[in-house]
Structure 1
């Protein structure tokens, strides 16, 4: 069996899908997405597949990963690792289908039967956010995540901090103490303000505070972790085990959130999770993407002892309303019950992509860029 061809599909809302074909008819799907840079990562996929994969045996996943990563003098970073990630998903999908087994079985087998998932809730008005949180709880979710704030200046007065507290307090009061509640700072808050905000939110029983500072300021996280009882999380803008290593060695975080579309795929996510387990650090992968990325993430979480839950934004409670699940032959592929998604049993990633629907949707002009925010003085703000 050899890799013979590939296709890339940019589809709404902001995703890139890879179809990898083989000489015996097996097909693998992957998601080499990097939001807002689809054309750039598409070029990187073209270069990697053309230079290293065509004509090769798709079953040698580790060999191909090392070659595509280590074969380049310049390596790592969001573009190359996201391109490598989508290719890796597709190779594992092919390998699972070849052996008639889900990927998690090839990785050693499951350590749990189902995986808890968390759902993001958005908006700025705190009463509206609270209503959405109640709605999600009633739909069966046991864990939710919300943003702490919109744009946030390097120094803010007490009233701004109080507004953040009230947002979180309103949601916690609305859903009670039995729901997991995460708060995402999104790297919007400066180091001088982070300590004050974390201290203000400490009494609300948060499951974590995500990205309290930007990745380039991660050296501050160990200090922050020592000063609070709130679990500190980061990782969605990290790209390999080498990025996570100093955080683990320094005891800087209690939760990491690698993204299977940005850390080089299933191969690297599995290694990151195993490395984190040695430091008693939980893994809650970042995954606000398509069912391909979700399925790839799920395969790793199922066989990782410290994979306590994972993110999703696919409306599992009602597949008919889900934009993402329509890309599957069966939108009800993932069995959702009581806040959990059950262990898939089908080979490979455990999903069947509706190729005709993908082709139809790829006719759209998919041009998505994240907003550029500015403070009232015109200076750029973190989004």
Structure 2
């Protein structure tokens, strides 16, 4: 049984060449690609990795919750790992981003990529260039032409202006310039509106309908998240009304239960769960199956970091005939580049003429560059079995620690799993 013997956590900050100004956080010049990295090590030395985006060092101290919950358990018992992560989330800490690390271990032990464990075959994936900043119409046209020259045949624009005429003008300019040769999608970023630095537009159903009408006339392929994430009734009404498919579902931390409800209500025509937020690989697989049963399209959100991209790439391969034609490929040079997105990976996920060959390496298909990790990362937590024992003594005292240990041996999941 591949028991977990050690857990390490790192905070990573990769400096960007120039400031990146994400459309979804108005007024915020992002100067680093920040995320927290977890390494799970089994008794036999197999390592599983995963990473969750971060704004700062908000997860400091989180390891003291993770370690006692996971050390000693079977890393490949995915339902048990999901349950433990769910329990940790009861206090408000959502942990979907950790779950792929256990799939990484499972795939490595089987000697297969995760997508092959799940029944998919190797092949090539078409990509769409996903922009991240707001631009004037002419600058956006130039960007689209640059992506076309690189081999992309699909692009996603960002709109986020208080004046809807400005948004429509940008889409119209791009459609007129490249609509005959590129698939165009538009992300409105209303599902998780952020006003931490500056104010942001707040769309309602009438504005969303007017925008949908304009996009239909311009031949747009889909509109992404034009309404608040919990406006379920309005989403469903817009999806029924619009001549353009409405897409969304990327950051619904309610996971499978919430997305299942949204599928049943017809909130979107295309569902875009990001496994790093929406329940991990296991729950996202169920979302894919629900989309298949309902005749809906699936294409994951991937805009986090290179590891998050790798996880959702595996799931895109599993999507089968319900997967949309293109996978999101975050790219916004000169700030958000492949090199900065995938800075910790030995082999970045660099595209070839707008396509990507599925990795054949076992697990999640990437290798961590340990030199880059030392350069950009700071380890803030490390615990093994001995450290767990000392933590219990220090935190609980001898009597309570001994009682907990005895209970785990006789009644806990550890003893049942090893029986």
| TM-score, normalising length: structure 2 | 0.76
- Relative to 1, partners in 2 of residues 1:321 and 1:104: Cα closer, same or farther, differing over 3 Å? closer
Alignment of 1:255-334 (within 5 A): 255-305=270-320, 306-308=322-324, 309-313=326-330, 322-331=339-348, 334=349
* 1:22 aligned residue (29, 36, 42): 42
- Relative to 1, partners in 2 of residues 1:7 and 1:273: Cα closer, same or farther, differing over 3 Å? same
Larger Rg: 2
- Listed one character per residue, the Cα deviations across residues 358-381 of structure 1 (whole Å, up to 9, x for unaligned) are 12102599xxxxxxxxxxxxxxxx
For residues 124 and 202 of structure 1, the distance between their equivalents in structure 2, rounded to whole angstroms, comes to 21
The residue that corresponds to 1:353 in the other structure is: 368
For residues 274 and 145 of structure 1, the distance between their equivalents in structure 2, rounded to whole angstroms, comes to 26
* 2:100 aligned residue (60, 84, 89): 89
The residue that corresponds to 2:160 in the other structure is: 149
The residue that corresponds to 1:103 in the other structure is: 114
The residue that corresponds to 2:139 in the other structure is: 128
CA positional deviation for 1:62 = 2.2
- Asked whether 1:183 is paired with 2:186, we answer yes
User: How many pairs were matched up?
Assistant: 343
* 1:230 aligned residue (244, 255, 259): 244
Question: Is the 2:10–2:379 contact (alpha carbons within 8 Å) kept by the matching residues of 1?
Answer: no
Question: Is the 2:331–2:337 contact (alpha carbons within 8 Å) kept by the matching residues of 1?
Answer: no
CA positional deviation for 1:120 = 2.1
Kindly report the root-mean-square deviation, in angstroms, between the aligned alpha carbons of the 2 structures: 2.5
Q: Which runs of 5+ in 1 are unaligned?
A: 153-159, 366-383
- Relative to 1, partners in 2 of residues 1:8 and 1:338: Cα closer, same or farther, differing over 3 Å? same
Q: Which runs of 5+ in 2 are unaligned?
A: 14-32, 191-201, 381-419
CA positional deviation for 1:208 = 0.9
Instruction: Determine helix, strand or coil for the equivalent of 1:66.
Output: helix
Question: Is the 2:4–2:43 contact (alpha carbons within 8 Å) kept by the matching residues of 1?
Answer: yes
- The runs of 4+ residues in structure 1 deviating greater than 6 Å are none
CA positional deviation for 1:99 = 1.1
Alignment of 1:34-49 (within 5 A): 35-36=54-55, 38-41=56-59, 43-44=61-62, 46-47=64-65, 49=66
CA positional deviation for 1:196 = 1.7
| TM-score, normalising length: structure 1 | 0.83
- Listed one character per residue, the Cα deviations across residues 2-34 of structure 1 (whole Å, up to 9, x for unaligned) are 21111222212121211111111111110133x
- Listed one character per residue, the Cα deviations across residues 49-84 of structure 1 (whole Å, up to 9, x for unaligned) are 223210112121222213432x46837x7x41xx2x
Alignment of 1:2-81 (within 5 A): 2-12=3-13, 13-33=33-53, 35-36=54-55, 38-41=56-59, 43-44=61-62, 46-47=64-65, 49-69=66-86, 71=87, 74=90, 79-80=93-94
Instruction: Determine helix, strand or coil for the equivalent of 1:327.
Output: coil
CA positional deviation for 1:190 = 2.4
- Asked whether 1:362 is paired with 2:377, we answer yes
The residue that corresponds to 1:249 in the other structure is: 264
Instruction: Determine helix, strand or coil for the equivalent of 2:342.
Output: helix
